[in-house]
Amino acid sequence: MCMYDVARNLHEVLGKLPDGVKLVAISKFHPNEYIEAAYREGQRVFGESQEQELSRKVESLPKDIEWHFIGHLQTNKVKYIAPYISMIEAVDSLKLLKEINRQAAKHDRIINVLLELHIAEEESKYGFTPDACRQLLEDGEWRSLANVHISGLMMMASNVDDNGQIRKEMSLAADLFDELKAKYFADDPGFKERSWGMSHDYDIALECRSTMVRVGTTIFGPRVY
């Protein structure tokens, strides 16, 4: 990879996205120079999955970057990112939602979050099953959390070659979005995001009404862990 590739790859991905679909450039494990190369091309939304790495990058990169936290977030780490995080994409428990609310209140902010769905077959993945997600919203405690705003749903499809399987999972997520929108967020135009699609499956995600794709490898190349 060189900087030229980052710029070219970025534009190639952007060129495939319909109007209204946001690109979250997933920069985890990539150095600042790569982020700066994308930034110079106009990209402003980046995603990271580890608090320490993110905090380091935030300090040294332009302040108008919108950072999305895309990984599993431990409640004890929320306080570090609460002052600046633009969106926390992978909220997978009420406990985490409440802690985000508490920390956001300290900074007099409202933090946008997505509820992470667990639809994929992999056991290891975090997130709410569709029923657990319905239950969370039905219970209603989230309504009292004035400093978090639920902006939509996020999911990762199974890591398989079977496009039919991926499409099935993403369609299920899109249908659930419609259901929850109608039942709990009909009055909130801000509940609008469907975050699915990564390097290998964002084309399918676009067919399944994604509004936000999280693409790393295709832009920045393979990660060196």
Positions in the binding site for ligand PLP (CB under 6 A): 26, 28, 49, 70-71, 156, 198-200, 214-217
Rank residues 104 and 216 by Cβ distance to ligand PLP and give the closer one: 216
How many other C-beta atoms can be found within 10 angstroms of the C-beta atom of residue 184? 18
Rank residues 145 and 150 by Cβ distance to ligand PLP and give the closer one: 150
The shares of helix, strand and coil residues in the chain, as percent rounded to the nearest 5, are 45, 20, 40
Residue 168 CB, nearest approach to ligand PLP (Å)? 19
Residue 70 CB, nearest approach to ligand PLP (Å)? 4
Rank residues 117 and 145 by Cβ distance to ligand PLP and give the closer one: 117
Residue 146 CB, nearest approach to ligand PLP (Å)? 27
How far is C-alpha 126 from the chain's CA centre?
Answer: 13
Rank residues 145 and 151 by Cβ distance to ligand PLP and give the closer one: 151
Rank residues 39 and 46 by Cβ distance to ligand PLP and give the closer one: 46
Q: Which two tokens stand for residue 59?
A: 């300090």
Rank residues 39 and 71 by Cβ distance to ligand PLP and give the closer one: 71
Residue 45 CB, nearest approach to ligand PLP (Å)? 13
Calpha distance 183→102 (Å, rounded): 26
Q: Nearest-CB residue to ligand PLP?
A: 216
Residue 8 CB, nearest approach to ligand PLP (Å)? 16
Start-end of H helices in the chain: 3-16, 32-40, 51-60, 78-81, 94-106, 130-139, 163-184, 202-207, 217-220
Q: Which two tokens stand for residue 202?
A: 């964002």
Are the CB atoms for 50 and 28 separated by under 8 Å? yes
Calpha distance 156→94 (Å, rounded): 20
Calpha distance 9→22 (Å, rounded): 16
Residue 199 CB, nearest approach to ligand PLP (Å)? 3
